[in-house]
Amino acid sequence: MKHRIVVLGAGYAGAYVAGNLARRLSPANTEITVVNAAPDFVQRQRLNQLAAGREIKAPKLGDVFAGTGIRLHVARVTAVDPERGIVAVADSNGGGEVGYDTLVYALGSHVADQRVPGVAEHAFDVASRPAALRLRERLDSLENRGEGGSVVVVGDGLTGIETATEIAESRPGLSVTLIARGELGARLSAGARSHLSQACDRLGITVLEHTSVDAVDAARVLCADATALASDATVWTAGFAVSPIAAAGGLEVTDNGQIVVDRTMRSVSHPSIYAVGDSVYTLGDNGRQLPMNCGSAGFTGRQAINAIVGRLTGRKIANTKLVYQYNAISLGQRDGILQLIDGAAQARPKFLGGRKAVRVKEAIQNGALWGTSHPTFGLPKRRHRLAAQSDRSAEKAVG
């Protein structure tokens, strides 16, 4: 029997892991299945641009995995049962189960409402392609009515900053307000914060610092200081959360649901399961938790690949660097910030701003898309067969 590897999620981390495993492991005794809720690859880094009106590519996963031997199952994961080695899914046929011997958990994250009343009912977000398209439709309707409109972006993280600046630049007829819980750009260097402030001024964005939101209504945002802001479209970017599926399946997770792993990205409670991307809680080489971002997806994915290939083929497992090196921030299409990060996860004094930073961010995004669309490019052509012990364990698991 072949050893069954199942990858849950085909975002930056999941698609990368699946493609690399397909190239490095022999199909003679392994089979790889990717389970993803949508048939397309979503460029999550660009969803704020999609919402603002830009056309963003969404390659078909069937095309991405063509010629790799990877099986694509378009379905929504509903549960994981580690004791039985089963994943429950819901698809167009109603649902079913997918069995595995090795599982890669890469379900990513979604927007977190922070238990603020009205967010789920009235706010928009840019955490998924359907959500970004809903926001885009709303912004279109505000522009088409010819009376302008107000957009309130809640959240001063990178997603909030990029969303507010992209909308303000692309739709100058709309009034944009950005609400920051603390100082806007607090994690940036002093120079970068000044650059960000100037960009917001140039784009006409109203910034409310040291402001908390107590509730969201259909047409306003209620702040903790009793201020009520009129809002025709409230965009919620104040944090992200992971799926509760891992916790419900009995895996050891953190308080926020991220899977606890060892240095090789293997679950500390269930050794047949690996976690990568936003779903995983892991410490970087500096001893601090890796943030939820595309860079972390690449590093954790590469480490999981090395571990899975090493363990299944009886080879030494190489350690991948787990680092947090920079933040690349878009401020619309013609401005940006590249902020380098030091070993203590603090902003370095120097930063790169303007069009050069935009080109760097574009290169990162284009590279991520190209690498995902060509998952086996540049990898060794030799595919490794499983070690005898791995074959026996696979047969035992199937039996």
pLDDT in tens, 332-344: 999 999 999 998 8
Q: Which two tokens stand for residue 92?
A: 């167009």
What pLDDT, on the 0 to 100 scale, is given for residue 371? 80
Percent of the chain with pLDDT over 90: 81
Percent of the chain with pLDDT over 70: 95
What pLDDT, on the 0 to 100 scale, is given for residue 398? 29
Name the maximum alpha-carbon separation found in the chain: 70
The answer, yes or no, to whether residue 383 has pLDDT greater than 50, is yes
Rounded CA gap, 349 and 209, in Å? 22
Q: Which two tokens stand for residue 218?
A: 């259909």
Rounded CA gap, 319 and 159, in Å? 30
What pLDDT, on the 0 to 100 scale, is given for residue 397? 34
The answer, yes or no, to whether residue 391 has pLDDT greater than 60, is no
Tens-digit pLDDT profile for residues 206-265: 999 999 999 999 999 999 999 999 999 999 999 889 999 999 999 999 999 999 999 999
Tens-digit pLDDT profile for residues 69-105: 999 999 999 999 999 999 999 998 888 999 999 999 9
Tens-digit pLDDT profile for residues 129-157: 999 999 999 999 999 988 889 999 999 99
Determine what percent of the chain falls in helix, strand and coil, rounding each to the nearest 5.
35, 25, 40
Rounded CA gap, 89 and 74, in Å? 9
DSSP character at residue 373: H
Give the residues across from 71 on adjacent strands. 33
What pLDDT, on the 0 to 100 scale, is given for residue 386? 83
CA dihedral 150, 198, 227, 164 (to 10 degrees): 40
Q: What is the per-residue DSSP string for 30-89?
A: EEEEEEESSSB---GGGHHHHHHT------BHHHHTTTTT-EEEE-EEEEEETTTTEEEE
What pLDDT, on the 0 to 100 scale, is given for residue 378? 60
Tens-digit pLDDT profile for residues 340-367: 999 888 999 999 999 999 999 999 888 8
- For the whole model, what pTM was predicted? 0.91
Confidence grade of residue 11 (pLDDT, cut at 50, 70, 90) = very high
Tens-digit pLDDT profile for residues 98-128: 999 999 999 999 999 889 999 999 999 999 9
The answer, yes or no, to whether residue 310 has pLDDT greater than 70, is yes
Q: Which two tokens stand for residue 67?
A: 């010629």
Confidence grade of residue 377 (pLDDT, cut at 50, 70, 90) = low
